Amino acid sequence: MITIKDLSKVFQTKDREVKAVDGLSLTINKGEIYGVIGYSGAGKSTFIRLLNRLEDPTEGSIHVGDQDLTGLSKNKLRIARQDIGMIFQHFNLLWSRTVYDNIAFPLEIAGVPKEERSRRVKELIDLVGLSGRGNSYPSQLSGGQKQRVGIARALANNPKVLLCDEATSALDPETTDSILDLLVDINEKLGLTIVLITHEMHVIRKICHQVAVMEQGRIVEKGDVLDVFLHPEQPVTKKFVDQVMGDQEKEHSLKLIKDKYQSGKIVRLHFVGESTNQALISEVSRKFVLDVNILHGKITQTQKGAYGTMFVQFEGDNEEVARAIEYIRSTSVEVEVNPDA
Ligand SMILES: Nc1ncnc2c1ncn2[C@@H]1O[C@H](COP(=O)(O)OP(=O)(O)OP(=O)(O)O)[C@@H](O)[C@H]1O
């Protein structure tokens, strides 16, 4: 769907050149939610602005479907942009226009007749959960509602791709979650491809299928969200994963756990994907004569399944404990006995 090859953007400032995007290549499949994460200054905003040619690349190409965006004339670019909607951190609404008129605006520009426009705006207002608010002005709306208007406006011309530029960074956690749920809903209902940039791993975990990690204009790691969460390789990726999983807390707790629970066997269970759905702990305590103590753990959900770690203590006859561990190993849950921090 979107193929990016060797994309670079160099800004010339008074005293030096800044390579904001540096030889970036990426393939984004149709219907995917693709997240690009990086700290401030990594080049994310420049990257997403290149995707709809708000910035012109210094080098490289961007294909959306069969169309090479980098080779288009101004006129053709204007038409091609109708396939690419965008939402922004600060919503970028027209403050003197109502919700209805904000959403109608791109339809007016595209020359959609009045009746059809009216039908489409009403449909979009319902889709984003703003029924009854069509006559409100942006100043009368909460942050979450403003972003819903932004989403409806971006979807007005039935784009194939939605670009999200830190779309939830100005929102509180609860509102962030409701906007992320809306994006997933739209992705599933409309089969829309979504590319988002963020500095929050929570956003990646909650809605993305694929993730790319950016540092100094380059992609340093990319892949399936679950794989990247499970096996982060680069230091920057590990830091982002820790934002969600709180690794330091886990290591600290393991030491406390070992000091406190010295009897029986302490076991670390790694759950990945579907296996987390099994009622494994209750099954083990039913099948084997032993006590199972849950000591510490965190399981989290991604769009590609759940994963996490749990520390448990097995107390009972040594052979029975060994049999229980063997049994767990026969499932897809990984087991580590007497784990190191
Ligand atoms: N118009 C510009 N002129 C000169 N330098 C720029 C310009 N736009 C961005 N840069 C520089 O390019 C680098 C990448 O900036 P960019 O805004 O893309 O990063 P970012 O990851 O989106 O960070 P942030 O979230 O802080 O915006 C930075 O060093 C920035 O100063």
In tens, the pLDDT along 53-89 reads 999 999 999 999 888 998 888 888 888 888 999 999 9
Check whether 250 has a pLDDT greater than 60: no
Question: In the chain, pLDDT over 90 holds for what percent of residues?
Answer: 66
Q: What is the pLDDT of residues 207-242, one digit of tens each?
A: 999 999 999 999 999 999 988 988 889 999 999 988
The residue-averaged pLDDT of 97-119 equals 96
CA distance 58 to 285: 62
Q: What is the ipTM of this complex?
A: 0.97
Nearest CA to ligand 1 atom 4: 11
Q: What separation in Å is there between the alpha carbon of 43 and the centre of ligand 1?
A: 6
User: Which CATH code fits 2-244?
Assistant: 3.40.50.300
Q: For the domain covering 248-337, report its CATH number.
A: 3.30.70.260
Pocket test for ligand 1, best of 45, 56, 203, 219 (most atoms within 8 A of CB): 45
The first and second tokens of residue 157, run together, are 């011309």
Distance from the alpha carbon of residue 270 to the mean position of ligand 1, in angstroms: 39
pLDDT one-digit tens code per residue, 294-316: 888 888 888 877 788 888 889 99
Q: What letter does residue 276 receive in the DSSP assignment?
A: G
Contact 4, 26 (CB under 8 A): yes
What are the residue ranges of CATH 3.30.70.260 in the chain?
A: 248-337
* Residues β-bridged to residue 7: 24
pLDDT for 2 equals 95
Q: Write out the residue limits of the CATH 3.40.50.300 domain(s) in the chain.
A: 2-244
Please tell me the pTM assigned to this model. Answer: 0.83
d(CA 317, ligand 1 centre) in Å = 61
Of all residues in the chain, the percent with pLDDT exceeding 70 is: 95
